[in-house]
């Protein structure tokens, strides 16, 4: 189960980072608050998932 969890979290990191990049490009084109907020939020999520993945053994107690 742990290897699958690693793959799932890695996929979430890639998705969040990609969506943050897309949102940033949208913000630069349109200067809407929503694009900026979603870009920043997904960037934070990507970093959070990356930290979680790097500390996964500690979280699972192994």
Rounded CA separation 26/29 (Å):
5
Q: Is residue 60 pLDDT above 80, yes or no?
A: no
Give per-residue pLDDT as tens, 24-46. 999 999 999 999 999 999 999 99
Residue 61: predicted pLDDT:
72
Spacing of C-alpha 34 from chain mean position: 17
Give the start-to-end residue ranges of the domains of the chain.
2-60
Rounded to two decimals, what is the model's pTM? Answer: 0.87
pLDDT category at 10 given cuts 50, 70, 90 is very high
Per the CB < 8 A criterion, the answer to whether 46 and 54 are in contact is no
DSSP line for 7-61: HHHHHHHHHHHHHHHHHHHHHHHH--HHHHHHHHHHHHHHHHHHHHHHTHHHHHT
């Amino acid at each position: 189960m742990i290897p699958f969890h690693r793959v799932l979290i890695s996929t979430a990191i890639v998705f969040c980072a990609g969506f943050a990049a897309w949102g940033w490009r949208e913000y630069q084109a349109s200067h809407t608050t929503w694009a900026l907020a979603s870009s920043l939020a997904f960037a934070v999520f990507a970093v959070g998932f990356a930290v979680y993945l790097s500390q996964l053994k500690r979280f699972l107690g192994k």
